[in-house]
Amino acid sequence: MTRPVLMAVLAVLAAGAPVASIARTPAAAAAASADAGPVLVSPDQWRAMAEAGDRYPMFAAERQRVEREVRAAMAHGIDVPQPRDLGGGVTHERHKANYKAIAGAGALYRLTGDRTYADFARDLLLEYARLYPTLSDHPAGNSPVRGRLFWQALNDSVWLVYSAQGYDAIREILTAEQRRTIDDNVFRRMARFLSEENAPYFDRIHNHATWATAGVGMTGYVLRDPDLVDRALNGTAHDGRAGFLRQVDELFSPDGYYAEGPYYQRYALAPFVIFARAIQQNEPERDIFGRRDGVLLKAVDGVIQSSYAGLLFPINDAMPDKGLTSEEIVTGVSIAYAQTRDPALLSIAQQQGRTILTPDGLAVAQGVANGGARPFDFRSMQLRDGPNGDLGNLVFLRRGGANGQALVMKNTQQGQGHGHFDRLEWLFYDNGQAVVRDYGAARFLNVEAKGGGGYLDENDSWAMQTVAHNTLVVGEASQFGGDWLVGEEHPTTPLFFEVEQGLQISSARLEDAYDGVVLTRTLAMVEHPELAYPVVIDLFRAEGQTATAYDLPLHFNGQIISAFEARHSVLERPVLGTGSGYQHLWVDAVAPAASGTRSLTWLLGSRFYTYRFGASAPTSALLVESGANDPDFNLRREPALIQRMQGQADASFFSVLEPHGVYDGTAETVSGATSQIRDIARVRGDDAEVIVLTLVSGKTLALGVAHATSAGLAHTVTVDGQTYEWTGPYARFDR
């Protein structure tokens, strides 16, 4: 159907003529049939895909994959059960399989001309038209907004997004009565349930509402209902204070960072780009992909940048096994490539090994087949947070490409209800592995036997708590008292971010996480000719008003090779504390409070890692492991090191992490297993500190860091006859 015809139909509907009234005369019925043609993908686009698809292996393989999935659904038969289960349960999984089958069957009908696919999608939708009007709120679950088909309305929205695409592909061939039945009893009812009956939910600035607005808006286009489209775009009041466009403006920073972090950026990406593509198809004058300087396209780049070795950084509520091959990012890459023709996206598509059955997916398949792929530039960068980019940042310091070294510093805002209390934390990746890691979420996604597949109680009691992360804990309490609404009111302040040859550095300050304590952390990735790989230097300052207790955890990944001298828990395994996550930590070894530095070396994969650490006052060192007070075995058993300082108002913790050596278990060879750093020391001046690394050769590598309030001044620090002078926030010294 041409755009003028579509707009004419929209105008008729806007004037108040319902679909049923248009189809009551023979002439009107014929016109209504013509006006039922696809609008999410045009007939010409479907023809081009049908004619060209087999010539491009990636597109042909995707069609074959969808054919197998749909044929399996057809063999299973029409099965639209009464909803009863939580995520992962039988009825949940069947309704999920059904929306995939409806979308897939609709596409296959257009690509193959085989009417059996259309008939199958039609029969499924007619069965939903019989069931859906009989449903009330879902009987299971404790979601604040229950769905009808699923335990939470979010999943109903996902069903609507995908089913609308399949329905659009077949709607033209249905009888007027079939269209009316499906229009009114499925799509209009679902749109009304999500928007009118749950208006506060629909008008939220949140990923659940993004899925809802996308589903309702795409329904509006398919049904030629401009009211539904405008409701989706501008909120239930049609005033722009809510709705999809407001979500684009509020949920992304100018750099494309999504407020809830990479994991939820992955999930929210699908409705954003799928609905944006529908808007572009039907209302190109809105220039949706150009909105806010192309923020949706930046979001695709940003979520790819937020990954290592194909997996997303598990920040906030995140599953550690989600990565670039997820359905949502496959969709995002395809749609972004169709808009930009960026050849680097083709290399990501090759890594994903698949595409989607849309014109965008065909463009990707053509680009790959024609040899257009170029390596994606995984680069050092900062993604500012907040709609205006002034609510913190997420920093990536990289060297060596996709699987080289990557240091992540989290200085973002709270991340809404899925955010963890982990400001100023860091993660480190090397040699294809997570070396300093984040637990992510305590959840077994869609495993019904584990809390119905939802978030476990341990997500609140452990995974969100500050001690579960690599950042400073004050007074054995979590940041902001464990209240995310309070945390959302107090952003982190980035101080500087610089990338130079041989030195990459980032610093940030947090003033309101704990009463009367200001936290400042500076992290640097530094190269030196005598060191095989870049090392990470960390300086963490706490400035308090009264004496308190400080704990600095390091959640490392690997097998301990050598450790500092400590007393081991042999006959019993004590628990570290009673709340704020401490109740989930067993204590395996304790080194009593002492001055001086200590070291810990572990092996991960084929590489060794030595962590040298010290502090401005005597500290004890504890080796702990997660899993205490966990009767249902919901937590993974993971080790951590905790530096503990007590009875101080001000504190500085300093450390260096050094990757080194090669371990080959197959050849039974080891080389470079000994650290090339002999010692680490900290020197304090009036308004700055210097961290000095002494190498085994006797040479030194030093990093000077000014206190935040004096960063722009000239600084002088002298120790043992050595004077370090510089101007500005930091400086490097090689001697």
Structure tokens at 205: 């600035």
CB 321 within 8 A of CB 311: yes
Phi, psi of 500 (to 5 degrees): -125, 170
SS3 66: helix
Buried b (16+ CB within 10 A) or exposed e, 188-227: bbbbebbbeebeebbbbbbbbbbbbbbbbbbbbbbbbbbe
CA of 700: how far to CAs of 196, 421, 522, 562, 609, in Å? Answer: 67, 36, 20, 24, 20
Neighbours of 98 (CB within 10 A): 26
Q: Is 257 a catalytic residue?
A: no
CA-CA distance, 417 to 395, in Å (whole number)? 22
Concatenate the DSSP letters of all residues of 335-363 into one string.
Answer: HHHHHH--HHHHHHHHHHT---SSHHHHH
Residue (of 508, 346, 551) closest to 413 by Cα position: 508
CA-CA distance, 303 to 309, in Å (whole number)? 13
CA of 578: how far to CAs of 476, 575, 586, 623, in Å? Answer: 10, 8, 11, 17
Work out whether the CA dihedral 11, 17, 21, 27 comes out positive or negative: negative
CA of 274: how far to CAs of 118, 164, 260, 278, in Å? Answer: 22, 11, 19, 6
CA-CA distance, 418 to 484, in Å (whole number)? 9
Residue (of 711, 681, 706) closest to 693 by Cα position: 681
Catalytic residue among 418, 420, 528, 660: 418
Structure tokens at 298: 């930046």
Residue ranges of alpha helices (H) inside 613-713 are: none
Catalytic residue among 264, 455, 663, 730: 264
Structure tokens at 615: 């502090």
Length of the chain: 735
Structure tokens at 414: 């709270």
Q: What contacts 587, CB < 8 A, 6 or more positions away?
A: 569, 573, 574, 575, 576, 622, 623, 624
CA of 694: how far to CAs of 678, 679, 690, 702, 734, in Å? Answer: 6, 5, 13, 9, 10
CA-CA distance, 481 to 580, in Å (whole number)? 9
Phi, psi of 626 (to 5 degrees): -75, 155
CB 63 within 8 A of CB 108: yes
Phi, psi of 328 (to 5 degrees): -65, -40
Q: Is 264 a catalytic residue?
A: yes
CA-CA distance, 253 to 389, in Å (whole number)? 5
Q: What contacts 151, CB < 8 A, 6 or more positions away?
A: 83, 85, 86, 87, 92, 138, 140, 141, 143, 452
Neighbours of 603 (CB within 10 A): 16
Annotated active-site positions, please? 264, 418
